[in-house]
Chain A
Amino acid sequence: MNRVNCMNELDYYCYLRTLDAEHEVPMFRDAMITFRYQMRLLLREPVWIVIVMIQPLLYLALFAPLLDPITRTPGFPPGDAWQVFVPGLLIQLGIFGSMFVGFGIIAEIRYGTVERMRVTPASRFGLLLGRVLRDTVVLLIQATLLTLIAVAFGLRVPVIGALITLGIVGLLGVSLASLSYAAGLWLKSEDALAPLLNMVSVPVLLLSGIMLPMTLAPGWLRRLAQLNPFSHVVDGARAAFRNDLGDISLVAGLIAAAALAVVGLAVATRTFQRESA
């Protein structure tokens, strides 16, 4: 009896049955398989999860104290310095923590794992979603830790508001991780991806009011910032932190974050499906 063919009958039956499984949505099954695989790889070298957190922690310790005097400036939004600054830091973590995952997919292209998975019948959306989920889970853990540390520093935030903000950060993570994967699949080179990310991240950061609220800005700058969907996301997160749950800016922020997530996933799925990706 040859060994290659000796998958025993029971196993083979299981295999056939799973192929025909109608009760499972293959897309989400593939996403979960990819998620577990990627998570296991990440947990083997968890150092960078910590490294990504160092930057916002430094901002929290070394920059936030400067904000206290500014809160008395006319035009400063309601809430104390922490309530204004921490949501911004969380959004910044959401942007910068997710933006660089594209480097990972370039490495995977080089290893050949992307191509190998593309020859399987697995759903392209599932292969993408599994990776994005991994990144989003990591991001949410980081954001939760950051919020707890900020509370230790003196932040006062209602639980509901904090949870809504984490939701916004999660949507942002989905969006930016997807877009970063799309860019990585498209450019296929670290040398091209790095300048692109720099080019995009600085204006996004400056025009979102993450560092200082845009209410302090002159009229032209404020109008420009309103074109940046991330500024609405930041405003929404600040409203949530103040517990202004009925505030129009919170609704706008949630819509902006959800729209960004949908657009990101759509663009990335298309890129994943495209033959040359």
Chain B
Amino acid sequence: MIKARGLARTFKNRRVTVDAVRGIDLDVEAGEIVGLLGPNGAGKTTTQRMLATLLIPTAGEATVAGCDLRRDPVGVRRQLGYVSQTGGTNPSAKVDEELVTQAQLYGMSRTAARTRAHQLRETLDLADLGDRVIKTLSGGQRRRLDIALGLMHDPRLVFLDEPSTGLDPQTRANLWSHIRALRDHRDGTILLTTHYLEEADALCDRILIIDAGKIVASGTPAELKRRISGDLVTFEVDDVPRAAELLRGCGDARDVTTVERGLRITVDRGETQALPLMRVLDDAGLKVGSLHIAHPSLDDVFLTLTGRSLRDAPPS
């Protein structure tokens, strides 16, 4: 659905030159939800805006939905639904005015646009709000309207820029289910940017971690976490020093540390390796009280890759 090679963008101001994106290769298959994860200023939005024909890349090539980004931007626009970070609605306009006008600009007839607006309002929990002036909507309603605008022409490919920024947790979860439905029911492809770990983790089939304009890692959320830090297995045992001795050097167990009334061990795959380790303890006659497997967070991944935490990464 998307294939980009060496995509780069440099912003030149009077004095400063900023390399916002420095050569990104990117492949997105149909039916995937792919997340660009990174701190503010990493180049997520710039990448997305280039792929959406809003910015001309300074270097690189890309094909989006079968159309060449440079030669056929109108072809790209026709097939793409784009929802920007700040949305794009006039506060004095009415909900249906925006929806219908948007669809008409994609070539839909007025009647078809009205029907479609009605359907999308139903789907996105905006059913009775067609005549409401937009400034009277709540934050969550406005965000769902932004998304409805991006879906009016029934695109197969949707870009969402920070879809849930500024929403409360409940509204966010609700939005996620709408985004998932988009892929599940329609085989839609979604490329979203986010700096929320929870969002990338909960929503994306695949994550591209982007930092300082480059992709530093990619994979499913689980793969990324596994590859970089492994899982944490914690046992509660009666004889901690003995258990530590037994488990050290057992399989790929590493970083064996004592915690309160137990041991914490790092292994590659917690689910498959916890039981053999427990059997070792059991065979030696030790009493295992409890077993706990923890997956590392994407924040741990980001920390390992870039040396800083995603949460307090300064905007570069």
- In this complex, the interface size class of chain A, counting residues with CB under 8 Å from chain B, is 35 or more
B166 close to chain A: CB less than 8 A = no
Smallest CB separation, A41 vs chain B (Å): 6
Q: List 9 A-B contacts (CB under 8 A).
A: A4-B151, A7-B154, A18-B107, A33-B104, A112-B86, A112-B89, A113-B89, A115-B54, A115-B88
CB distance from B102 to the nearest CB of A (A): 7
In the complex the two chains form, is B84's CB within 8 Å of A11's CB?
Answer: no
Bound Cα distance A7, B154 (Å): 9
Residue of B nearest to A20 (CB): B107
Q: Interface size bucket, B side?
A: 35 or more
State A121–B91 Cα separation when bound (angstroms): 23
- Residue A62 at the chain B interface, CB threshold 8 Å: no
Closest residue of chain B to A122, judged by CB?
Answer: B105
B residues in contact (CB < 8 Å) with A: 52-56, 74, 77-78, 80, 82, 84, 86-93, 97, 101-102, 104-109, 111-112, 115-116, 119-120, 122-123, 149, 151, 153-154, 181-182, 185-186
Cβ of A15 and Cβ of B112 under 8 Å apart? yes
Residues in B neighbouring A21, C-beta threshold 8 A: 107
A4 in complex: contacting residue of B92, B107, B149, B182, CB < 8 Å = B182
Question: Which residue of the partner chain A has the closest CB to B115?
Answer: A11
Name the residue of chain B whose CB is nearest to the CB of A111: B90
Known A-B contacts A3-B119, A4-B120, A111-B91; the reply to A275 vs B101 at CB < 8 A is no
Contact B111 A112 (CB under 8 A): no
Q: Which chain A residue shows the least CB distance to B113?
A: A15
Out of A4, A7, A41, A44, which one reaches B181, CB within 8 Å? A4
For the complex, what is the distance from the CA of A11 to the CA of B55, rounded to whole Å? Answer: 33
Task: Tell me the residues in window 1-25 of chain A with beta carbons closer than 8 Å to chain B beta carbons.
Answer: 2-8, 11-12, 14-15, 17-19, 21
A41-B88 in contact given A2-B181, A15-B107 (Cβ < 8 Å): no
* CB neighbours of B153 from chain A (8 A): 15
Residues of B within 8 A of A4 (CB): 119-120, 123, 151, 181-182, 185-186
Q: In this complex, which of B74, B101, B182 has the most chain A Cβ atoms within 10 angstroms of its Cβ?
A: B101
A44 to B94, CA, bound (A): 10
CB distance from B186 to the nearest CB of A (A): 5
The reply to whether A112 and B87 form a contact with Cβ atoms under 8 Å apart is yes
| Cα A74 to Cα B107 with chains together (Å) | 62
What are the nearest 7 A-B pairs in CB distance?
Answer: A116-B88, A112-B88, A2-B185, A122-B105, A120-B105, A11-B112, A19-B107
With contacts A4-B182, A33-B101 known, is A119 near B92, CB below 8 A? no
